[in-house]
Amino acid sequence: MEHKHIYDKDGKQLCCTQEEKINQLAEKHSVEDEHQHTESQSTFRMFLPAIISLALLLIAIVFDNYITQSWFTGYIRIAWYIVAYIPVGFPVLKEAFESISKGEIFSEFLLMSIATIGAFAIGEYPEGVAVMLFYAIGEVFQTLAVKRAKANIKTLLDQRPDTVTVLQNNEAKTVKAETVNIGDIIQLKSGEKLGLDGELLSETASFNTAALTGESKPDTKQKGEIVLAGMINLNTVSQIKVTTAYKDSKLSKILELVQNATAQKAPTELFIRKFAKVYTPIVVFLAVAICVLPMLFVSDYVFRDWLYRALVFLVISCPCALVISIPLGYFGGIGAASRNGILFKGSNFLDIIANIQNVVMDKTGTLTKGVFHVQEVNIKTEFNKDEILQMVNALESQSTHPVATAIQKYVGNVNTSIQLTNVEEIAGHGLKANINGKELLVGNFKLMDKFNISYDVNTDELVYTVIAIAYDKKFAGYLTIADEIKEDAQDAVNKLHSMKVKTTMLSGDKTSVVKFIADKLGIDNAFGDLLPVDKVNKVKEIKDKNETVAFVGDGVNDAPVVALSNVGIAMGGLGSDATIETADVVIQNDEPSKIAMAINIGKQTKRIVWQNIGLAFTVKAAVLILGAGGLATMWEAVFADVGVALLAILNAIRIQRMKF
């Protein structure tokens, strides 16, 4: 009996038989339950000190205010509050001591330590414990938020299986993925994830590439094509020849790229860190001034009251809401982009791309598919059309240019009986060879001019790429070849225009072709017949107008332009290691619509970061003034510090749930 394969939503094969289905589902749920149990235990351990302190604090408050008794006084009461303080206070005191020993005297840990110890010194035991308790709870939430952001990125990208099945002497053996050598043959079953990059040996196979490109639609590969680690085999058992070591796979490089992205700080993030280092000592000295200076000007000065105001001031002024939520906002932006198949090399590029005014795009491979098709064949009547096409096909087979592929698709297999001699490629012009002692020229009309071949064609009227042909010193005719515009190219241009972003297309292709595509897509400016140095000059012209520029191309051939632009964006980054190294932003598939998405993610990230900055400064400034005037208590101070920090954190992680 034949059993149908069953797949989950990720394309993973669940079973072949009902019994296997039950066993696999049971095993799957067992692993998930164990993982969730471990996560729950870890989270509980993080909150345990706060839970103990909260319980002891609540009991103490009940004894102080609601239950009449005589024993909860004096040293017993003080000792109780000290015990309630230790679980949450000791780690902070330890951090403050370690920071001081490293030369970082004025830290948020020192502020909290001074404020809570001061509260104990003036007999405000419940408030001293409460301040440290809520600060500790805020720290746990911050830790969980950062941990979740990192886990989201790691889950999205680190799809590499630990083990793979290798064929050795026609025998399948399961080995660790990092021990597999280049040249080994991997057997990939239906539903399995590929552990290393390799070349497909099977005739055809379909893969889920969502882990790499953010696209869930299957990608069918043919024999000889490259398949990458993290792809999921969707149908038949396939064989792959390993071409790259485990540590050098595309997925490894991408994972490393995203994990290291936080090393490149955004200007706002760098400013806040510098600001905190200057701001914190100023706050400490202001707190001392609030406590001491009034004795010189206030007639009824009471040290305890002014010390309390100074302690409130210290709690309010703690910069943790800014120091934590802002980096978390940028990290969330990088994670959101990764989930959509866009890799930012640093949070600084999120800031820059949010302010982009002009997107400059290459044509082939960015807005067009780079797959050429023959559109028109115009061979003069005095020549045998089939014979000329066969000769052209034979000569073009000597080239790897996409045009050659288009001609071969149109004409068919190369006629091996045609003998080519003296084959020569003339850079920027085309190909030359001899057939039966007669000269064959195939290339652009510049090639015709170079060899003084006269022709009666108005080249300005041709909007497609033209392949001119000459045989035996006579013009034989021409072929027109066109590249296909990508399905979402129009959508990409429309979205950029809706963001008030100008669009420019630069190409080495003939100007008439470039203008035709630009007019069809509604691109603002387009220039053709450009060499790499010409592209550099065009981008310089745009930058001279004080416009920020993003250049979108392959990131390799256009390296000078990428270096010159404010942000270099590489399309189809999975195709080239050099692309990943060169560009600032890598779009993992070939969809130009992701350009607008990358800009939108940058804008949303920047908006959230500035929302947090505004929230923190507004609330803290208001409560600082109230605290200095004696109108705010420690409870308001706790909200201004911990409450604002929690709100900022929740706002920062919001970007990870946004749909773009």
Instruction: Write the CATH number for 357.
Output: 3.40.50.1000
For 577-601, the pLDDT digits (tens) are: 555 667 788 887 778 999 999 999 9
How far apart are alpha carbons 106 and 241 in whole angstroms?
A: 57
Sheet of 198-200, strands arranged across: 171-176, 163-168, 185-188, 238-242, 198-200, 226-227
Provide the CATH number for the domain around residue 179.
2.70.150.10
Q: What pLDDT score was predicted for residue 282?
A: 84
366 exposed, middle or buried (CB, 10 Å; 0-12, 13-18, 19+)?
A: buried
Q: What pLDDT score was predicted for residue 17?
A: 45
In this structure, are 475 and 543 located in the same domain?
no
Confidence of residue 496 (pLDDT cuts 50, 70, 90): very high
If one compares 209 and 289, the residue with the highest pLDDT of the two is: 289
In this structure, are 514 and 449 located in the same domain?
no
For 447-475, the pLDDT digits (tens) are: 999 999 999 888 877 878 889 999 999 99
In this structure, are 594 and 505 located in the same domain?
yes
In this structure, are 472 and 514 located in the same domain?
no
Q: What pLDDT score was predicted for residue 550?
A: 94
Q: Of 246, 248, 249, 227, which is closest to residue 238 (Cα–Cα)?
A: 227
Q: What pLDDT score was predicted for residue 2?
A: 41
Alpha helices (H) along 486-592: 489-498, 511-521, 532-543, 559-564, 577-582
Mean pLDDT (whole number) for 135-149 = 75
**pLDDT beyond 70 at 7:** no
How far apart are alpha carbons 521 and 514 in whole angstroms?
A: 11
Q: What pLDDT score was predicted for residue 388?
A: 94
Provide the CATH number for the domain around residue 466.
3.40.1110.10
| DSSP SS3 for 462 | coil
Domain count, the chain: 3
For 19-74, the pLDDT digits (tens) are: 444 454 444 445 445 555 566 777 888 899 999 999 999 999 999 988 888 889 88
Q: Would residue 584 show up in a list of annotated catalytic residues for this protein? A: no
Domain that holds residue 356: 343-368+485-599
**pLDDT beyond 60 at 111:** yes
- Identify the H or E element spanning 173: strand 171-176
Label each residue of 564-599 as H, E or C: HCCEEEEECHHHCHHHHHHCCEEECCCCCHHHHHHH
For 387-439, the pLDDT digits (tens) are: 999 999 999 888 767 788 889 889 998 898 898 999 998 877 889 999 988 99
How far apart are alpha carbons 341 and 156 in whole angstroms?
A: 10
In this structure, are 516 and 474 located in the same domain?
no
Q: Which residues are within 8 A (CB) of 271 and not within 5 positions of it... i.e. 6 or more apart?
A: none
Assigned domain for 397 exists = yes
Mean residue pLDDT across the chain:
82
Of 222, 248, 274, which one is at a domain's C-terminal end?
Answer: 248
Assigned domain for 360 exists = yes
Assigned domain for 409 exists = yes
Structural contact between residues 506 and 409, judged by C-beta atoms closer than 8 angstroms: no
Confidence of residue 206 (pLDDT cuts 50, 70, 90): confident
User: 277 φ, ψ to 5°?
Assistant: -70, -30
- Identify the H or E element spanning 431: strand 430-435
In this structure, are 468 and 496 located in the same domain?
no
How far apart are alpha carbons 529 and 540 in whole angstroms?
A: 17
In this structure, are 590 and 519 located in the same domain?
yes
What CA dihedral angle connects 178, 181, 182 and 184, to 10 degrees? -110
pTM to 2 decimal places: 0.69
- Identify the H or E element spanning 176: strand 171-176
Q: What pLDDT score was predicted for residue 592?
A: 92
Q: What pLDDT score was predicted for residue 159?
A: 57
In this structure, are 471 and 501 located in the same domain?
no
Structural contact between residues 288 and 241, judged by C-beta atoms closer than 8 angstroms: no
**pLDDT beyond 70 at 11:** no
Assigned domain for 527 exists = yes
In this structure, are 498 and 462 located in the same domain?
no
- Identify the H or E element spanning 393: helix 385-396
Mean pLDDT (whole number) for 144-148 = 70
In this structure, are 544 and 467 located in the same domain?
no
Q: What pLDDT score was predicted for residue 371?
A: 77
How far apart are alpha carbons 586 and 362 in whole angstroms?
A: 15
In this structure, are 498 and 554 located in the same domain?
yes
Assigned domain for 96 exists = no
Q: What pLDDT score was predicted for residue 258?
A: 60
Pairing outcome for strands 549-553 and 567-571: parallel
Q: What pLDDT score was predicted for residue 394?
A: 93
Residue carrying the six token digits 């069953």:
6
| DSSP SS3 for 293 | helix
Mean pLDDT (whole number) for 487-514 = 90
Confidence of residue 360 (pLDDT cuts 50, 70, 90): very high
Confidence of residue 169 (pLDDT cuts 50, 70, 90): confident
Q: What pLDDT score was predicted for residue 49?
A: 93
For 255-272, the pLDDT digits (tens) are: 666 656 555 656 666 666
Q: Which residues are within 8 A (CB) of 185 and not within 5 positions of it... i.e. 6 or more apart?
A: 166, 167, 201, 239, 240, 241, 242
What CA dihedral angle connects 199, 486, 532 and 586, to 10 degrees? -60
Q: What pLDDT score was predicted for residue 319?
A: 74
For 218-257, the pLDDT digits (tens) are: 778 888 888 888 888 887 889 999 998 888 777 776 666 6
Of 248, 275, 305, which one is at a domain's C-terminal end?
Answer: 248
Q: What pLDDT score was predicted for residue 499?
A: 94
Pairing outcome for strands 465-471 and 438-443: antiparallel
DSSP symbols for 207-230: EE-HHHHS--S-EEEETT-EE-TT
Return the percent helix, strand and coil in the chain, to nearest 5.
55, 20, 25
Which one is catalytic: 197, 219, 351, 362?
362
Give the least confident one: 5-9, 182-186, 194-198, 649-653: 5-9
398 exposed, middle or buried (CB, 10 Å; 0-12, 13-18, 19+)?
A: middle
461 exposed, middle or buried (CB, 10 Å; 0-12, 13-18, 19+)?
A: exposed
Q: Of 497, 215, 214, 501, which is closest to residue 353 (Cα–Cα)?
A: 501
**pLDDT beyond 70 at 157:** no
Alpha helices (H) along 427-498: 445-450, 489-498
Of 226, 248, 270, which one is at a domain's C-terminal end?
Answer: 248
Assigned domain for 452 exists = yes
Assigned domain for 227 exists = yes
Assigned domain for 355 exists = yes
In this structure, are 489 and 359 located in the same domain?
yes
